[in-house]
A and B are shown apart, each in its own frame.
Chain A
Amino acid sequence: METRDDIHVIEKVLAGDTAAFASLVNRHKDLVFTIAMNICRNREDAEEVAQDTFVKAFQKLGSFRKESRFSTWLYRIAYNEAISMVRKSRLTTVALEEEITEAMPEEDVETEIAGMDTGEQKTVVRKILARLPETDRVLVTLYYMDNQPVSEISAITGLGESNVKVRLHRIRKKLYKELEAFISKKNFV
């Protein structure tokens, strides 16, 4: 449905109705901005990247092949723009520490986390996601927040499908470890 709507709007824009592009911006701006934030890690750069993404998409709309999803095409532009921005500003990534050795069963982690209130859960998740490398954050956003299939994520990021699957598996493990570390710290205090 969303894809069909996008195609309809794209046809209007290509026919000369520039104002119609606003509905595409409205529909996709949050996810484009989130992808940019995942990589740039600051709002100013992310806004610039997000704006550039839409401007570029508008300029190249004629080259968009309608057999693929517009969102995939757009998010790929956003991803590439953000990566370019980070390379230009030479931002360094903070690697997620993997020093937690004491394993807690995943079920226990889930139970502990489920016992927290929503606000606390939100804070914890944001803190943990902030420590992931940029590409992993994008994968989390696309896979867990936007429910994109692995094939689309592969098209957006340029990573192979098997690579995406492996990364998602590792990310999930990391998230559990981080959650576990958080719980241990909380219980200790």
Chain B
Amino acid sequence: MEDQNNNHDFIRELVGKSGLEQAPDRFTEKVMARLTEKPVLVEDTPLLSRGTWIAIFLSVAALVVIIFTVDMPFIDRMFTTGGIQKMSMSIISEGFLNSMAAFFQGLNISGITVAIILAAAGLMVMERLLKRRFGNVLLMI
């Protein structure tokens, strides 16, 4: 037992001579810098400002008013002569039109007009959905 302890002492002395590894220069400073660095916050700024949203809303409203109040036969002619057929409103939404019959009665709305309005509305909805789902990712990109 004593021999074993002596052997341990010999190894301890010998190994002790090789010494501990020295941590690199400025090690403590680097660690402390990591501890005190502030996390980078990704600010959730909206893609479109409130003002832009108001402008878009007013533009769409103005467009709707123009479409429904001003008769522009040249546009209809332009599309129908190009092969695009007028769509029957009843095909798109008979129920919708029936419910708003008083408003739409007497109006001549082309299919392309309805398509533009629906596309614009669809894009707005899509933009909101995408922003809600991938908002942070888009910001990081």
Question: Which A residues contact B (CB, under 8 angstroms)?
Answer: 18-19, 21-22, 25-26, 29-34, 37, 43, 46-47, 50-51, 54-55, 58, 106, 110, 113, 118, 121-122, 125-126, 129, 140-141, 144-145, 147, 172, 175-176
Could you say which residues of chain A place their CB within 8 Å of the CB of B34? 51, 55
Q: 1/0 contact trace for B2-16 toward A, CB 8 Å?
A: 000001101110111
Besides the contacts A46-B21, A125-B17, what 10 more A-B pairs have beta carbons closer than 8 Å?
A22-B28, A25-B31, A30-B22, A33-B24, A34-B20, A51-B27, A51-B30, A121-B17, A141-B20, A144-B16
Partner of A33, one of B11, B15, B23: B23
When the two chains form their complex, are residues A30 and B23 in contact, meaning their CB atoms are under 8 A apart?
Answer: yes
Tell me if B36 counts as interface (CB < 8 A to partner A): yes
Question: Which B residues contact A (CB, under 8 angstroms)?
Answer: 7-8, 10-12, 14-24, 27-28, 30-32, 34-36
Shortest Cβ distance from B3 into A: residue: A106
Q: List 14 A-B contacts (CB under 8 A).
A: A21-B32, A30-B21, A30-B22, A30-B23, A32-B23, A43-B24, A51-B31, A110-B10, A122-B18, A125-B15, A145-B19, A147-B12, A172-B8, A172-B11
Number of A-B pairs, beta carbon distance below 8 Å: 83
When the two chains form their complex, are residues B27 and A144 in contact, meaning their CB atoms are under 8 A apart?
Answer: no
Partner of B21, one of A21, A34, A51, A147: A34
